[in-house]
Chain A
């Protein structure tokens, strides 16, 4: 009987370990849930596709940020278009592989409400408002994984993001 008890405990430990590994794996790879989200339809504004694209990037990257932070993210994208170190078109900057996590994991495809603030923020950014005074980088200090980004000259902090040149 003793032998049987030990086996029981060993098995329980094995199951527990497996369960923990599975849960950990799923938790850290939570990103895959966003990819699996379907591309639902939303109303497309007539003609101004730049505004829609920029709004979707802002939505993916700065959804919970204050309005100023959303305009700032839009301004960073536009500053990159003008900067010789980055691609020369809006789509080029946005879809540059690895540039924005919201693009890499599909959040950019989340439909946006045409009346939401991200559309207003995109419009202000396209009209020239730049709360960052010319920055081309931004990151969230709590989630940034790149060490290199900290070597950039920080200009200011808006909401959760540092902005840098």
Chain B
């Protein structure tokens, strides 16, 4: 048969209902299969993008850590401390490089950045070994560290810019593979070339640095020390809640549950206020033992800012004093969205005790306290037996690197990573236009910690 006849024959067959339905079935089956394949591909794409995003975020975090640690190594006072910090810098650089390798960017583009990270790590490691035995950094080594720190800082900035672009959707991971790499090339443009041996070592995971104030993230002790009083019933706890907010403000308190798990058992309440809409409520947890406030959130809109930060700090201190938390001093604050989050630490005699920490969120329209976070205080607070310092303030000051200008000094008790506390002198200093907190052990004279303070428009941040 000719083609035309075949087509006519096909058309005739098609008009037969049976043929028609078979064709429909086949088309539908193909369509379903096609949709499934599309969905499957989209799923895989999403999984892949998630992996890239994770690697990218983590890498930026590690690069920032490297920069911070290099900066700290420039102002630490003893070779042993320098050595310890440089060793951490080496580890962080290794991680940054590992995650860099997971990104979908061509190898030759990443090569410079990767080389820089390896070399920074290697240099830090070798310096660490050299200073471990007590030798100070030579002027040349010091200058090299300064340069490396500068490069790390500019790499960090370029990466942050790149992250902005990816987040804003201007660059997608898929495109990066094809279009490349102009941005990555720019990111690695400022790195230096230095020849060092490559040292191969194994390493473990390392926790990130804290961001919301000094010592606000330390490990809590197993048994909370600050919870005094007797076990209360729900009704008795309700009374404590009303007292906390103020009897004249509260319209009703409803018990929404209780938490019987260790280490801190609590009752949960929802509070409605007079002169406020019914759906605008505060949530609060108080301890079953003693009815102490554990945390409170009152998410009401705050539309204007009438109160300055100093007044807010004073209002907060007054609030705490009237709720059974006397002698608290402010140590750090963050201000955003017409509210201020202020950290308060307990002060015993003239020693600031950082583990006994309470955070207040204050609305800057009326000065009302709309947030309370007392985990640190509840876990750590007791009246302590504070010894006399074994060294004088002048002796402690002498332990600090000469390169830092000291602005103020005091005594403090700080927490460690090992669930213990240390009695120290606290010095606020400045180096290279950046503010630092340096802690010198008041009993042994050893430098215990260095935190550097970043002043942002919203408040001060410590690292």
Instruction: Please give the residue numbers on chain A whose beta carbons come within 8 Å of chain B beta carbons, in ascending order.
Output: 7-8, 11, 14-15, 18, 21-22, 25-26, 29, 31-32, 35-36, 39-44, 47, 49-50, 52-53, 67-68, 71, 81-82, 88-92, 94-95, 97, 103-106, 108, 117, 120, 123-124, 126-131, 133, 153, 155-157, 165
Contacts and interface: CB of A to CB of B under 8 A. Distances in A.
Interface of B: 17-18, 21, 24-25, 28, 31-32, 35-36, 38-39, 42-43, 45-47, 50-51, 53-54, 56-58, 60-61, 160, 163-164, 167-170, 172, 205-208, 211-212, 216-217, 257, 259, 261, 264, 266, 268, 283, 285, 294-295, 297, 299, 334, 336-337, 341, 359, 361, 371, 373, 375, 456
A104 B54 contact: no
A58 B172 CA distance: 22
A133 B264 contact: yes
Choose among B39, B54, B208 the residue with the greatest number of A CB atoms under 10 Å from its CB.
B54
B58 A92 contact: yes
A52 B166 CA distance: 13
| 8 cross-chain pairs, A with B, having the tightest CB-CB distances, nearest first | A95-B54, A91-B57, A67-B299, A32-B39, A35-B42, A39-B169, A41-B169, A41-B168
Given A81-B208, A156-B257, 16 more contacts: A8-B17, A22-B32, A32-B43, A35-B39, A50-B211, A68-B299, A90-B57, A91-B61, A108-B50, A120-B299, A124-B361, A127-B359, A129-B295, A129-B359, A131-B295, A131-B297
Given A35-B43, A155-B261, A42 B168 contact: yes
Contacts of A32: 35, 38-39, 42-43
A105 B54 contact: no
Nearest to B282: A68
Choose among B261, B294, B334 the residue with the greatest number of A CB atoms under 10 Å from its CB.
B261
A41 B166 CA distance: 9
Given A104-B46, A133-B285, A68 B169 contact: no
Choose among A32, A40, A128 the residue with the greatest number of B CB atoms under 10 Å from its CB.
A128
B167 to A, nearest CB: 5
B332 to A, nearest CB: 10
Given A15-B21, A22-B28, A88-B205, A128 B163 contact: no
17 contacts: A11-B18, A15-B24, A32-B38, A40-B169, A49-B167, A50-B211, A68-B297, A90-B57, A91-B56, A91-B57, A91-B61, A94-B54, A104-B50, A127-B341, A128-B373, A129-B297, A131-B295
Contacts of A105: 46
A11 B295 contact: no
A106 B257 contact: no
A36 B42 contact: yes
B299 to A, nearest CB: 4
Nearest to B283: A68
A153 B261 contact: yes
Nearest to B42: A35
Contacts of B61: 89-91
A14 B341 contact: no
A36 B38 CA distance: 10
Contacts of A117: 299
Nearest to B165: A44
B297 A67 contact: yes
A7 B211 CA distance: 73
Choose among B47, B297, B375, B456 the residue with the greatest number of A CB atoms under 10 Å from its CB.
B297
Nearest to A121: B299
Contacts of A21: 32
Contacts of B283: 68, 131
Nearest to B294: A133
B208 A88 contact: yes
Given A35-B46, A90-B208, A53 B57 contact: yes
Contact of B24 (A18, A81, A123, A131): A18
B57 A130 contact: no
Contact of B163 (A49, A90, A129): A49
Nearest to B279: A66
A90 B53 CA distance: 12
B223 to A, nearest CB: 14
A41 B168 CA distance: 4
Contacts of B207: 82, 88
Contacts of B42: 32, 35-36
A124 B297 contact: yes
Contacts of B295: 129-131
A128 B378 CA distance: 14
A50 B210 CA distance: 12
A44 B17 contact: no
A132 to B, nearest CB: 9
A104 to B, nearest CB: 7
A35 B371 CA distance: 37
Nearest to A120: B337
A130 B283 CA distance: 12
Contacts of A25: 32, 35-36
A103 to B, nearest CB: 6
A67 to B, nearest CB: 4
Contacts of A123: 336
Contacts of B39: 29, 31-32, 35
B172 A39 contact: yes
Contacts of B297: 67-68, 71, 124, 129, 131
A128 B359 contact: yes
B18 A7 contact: yes
A14 B334 CA distance: 66
A17 to B, nearest CB: 10
